[in-house]
Structure 1
Amino acid sequence: MKKDNGTHRIRKGILAVFMNLILIIFSLSCIFPMIWMLYSSLKEKRAFNADIVGLPKNPTLINYIRILSNSDYHLGESMFNSVRTTTLSIILIVLFSFIVGYILARVHFKGNRALYVMFLMGMLIPIHSLLVPIYVVFKNCGISDRWYTLLLPYVSFGLPMGIFLVEGYVKTIPVSLEEAAAIDGSSFSNTLWRIILPITKPILVTVAIIQIFSCWNEFSFALVLIKNVSLQTVPLALTQFKGQFASDYPKQMAAMLITMSPIVILYFAFSKQIIEGMVAGAVKG
């Protein structure tokens, strides 16, 4: 019996080592591209072409200096445009998702389910199939190539998922909580903003996380609807570093790291809230 227990422990230990080894390899495969991009940005173009994978023999910040000192790249302006567009989009998406999701979950009226299904249909439509119609509509209405142009498609296509998540989350909140607040004399608006809103914070954080990455990295609508260089976003600015016949990859990687920095800083600053929001959203959403 003792021998069997010892054999079982050995097999269990070997299995644990094997599983951990697989997870380590998988983690390294995810981390290495970022590390490679970081040290490759410290190379000059000639050194990179001579040895793509190798570490830099003479690390230099020349790529970062050239990018930040050259006003032709408009990288700072593009980052400002992306921050402004992403921030306003997230505020509107979270606000409207909360209000509409709550109403669909709590207020029973004729056409409630039809309206809910209509919003869900927005998750099924291929977004990029609407590029041409949206471009035509925006051009005819004279609202293309404006600082607020991208807010309209970003908010419109971000709402269906936000409403879906919030509506499902609100249904898990006991109605008795609102009834008790009403008995205590709380108005509808007070109950909505001071009681329900704090409770739905985890799912709203989840919605914000999903949409932040979506808005920051969005390329197709920005390419089609924005022509003015001073209004371009980060994904459009990065296309400047790719030539027709050759590309300066170290400089391109340096630009990518610069534009990624706000999102990375945001993640590390709010990592605890992000993880809590994702877990709560997955469990209750």
Structure 2
Amino acid sequence: MASIPLWIARLRLALDSKFQRALCILRQYVMHIIHAEQKRQCEQQQQRVAKPKTLIASMVAAAENDRLETDSSKASLSPTELFDEVSLSMVAGFETTSTVLSWFFFLMSKYPDVQAKIKEELYRHGLTSDAILTPEDLDELVYMECVMKEILRYAPITAGIVRQATRDDVINDIIVKKGDIFLIATQNMHRDPRYWKIDPMKFLPERFLDEDKHPTPYAYMPFGGGHRACIGQDLALFEFKIAITRLMQRITIEDAGNEANNSGGFIQRITCFPKHVAVRVYMDSDAKLPA
């Protein structure tokens, strides 16, 4: 596929005042986080504290250790590279989670039976609204895991994944030149009947309990694949599971389509964000939990 030359894309962003203001705010915020973490680690250096427990702390510690490394052949992260890594981790985790949560609200309004099964599973494991969640509790929520996977299959975060050919090749009689750009259509793969045993056009979380529990490799790639897969996927999935657990402990989502447009569709931003969503949210009470 043809693509816009990189220098044109960079020039456009350089001349976009709104983008530059947003980038400036992001840079100031991220650098504040990095400097605060560097200061904290410096103050605790003499105390022999435990290893860093957060991703940002690990990045800052690794950059500092590399800087102090006596082996000159080992390159350390520059301040710019450290900024890029921290920014990417934050954006990758936040943007994907906010997008998937939007699809969650839309799809739960369309499939109340799925919503009811989530609530029943929470009740069965004693996870009421005042329960303290633990990683072990989240691991027990098998059906919720299936719902998460099905949302990511049915409404993938991005319309496609871009890759560049590293060498000349021929694929199905199509000549590929080194440097050619490809768009791997994620949604097409996720709904291709050749790769799914149960009708892929249906929203059915139960598919991941049985027939489609182990999809064909690379037919299911909500976060991409290989060593170029989304760096924030683990953070995004963890945030997503906690968020929908807390939501389903407290609210019920209904379709408000009679009053507004709740037809779905999507807008391509950084991610594929739902376009027409109109839902009604009710607060639950303990009396509404399954008997």
TM over 0.5: no
Higher relative contact order (CA 8 A, sep 6+): 1
Give TM-score scaled by structure 2 length. Answer: 0.29
Give TM-score scaled by structure 1 length. Answer: 0.30
Structure with max Cα Rg: 1
Structure with the largest fraction of strand:
2
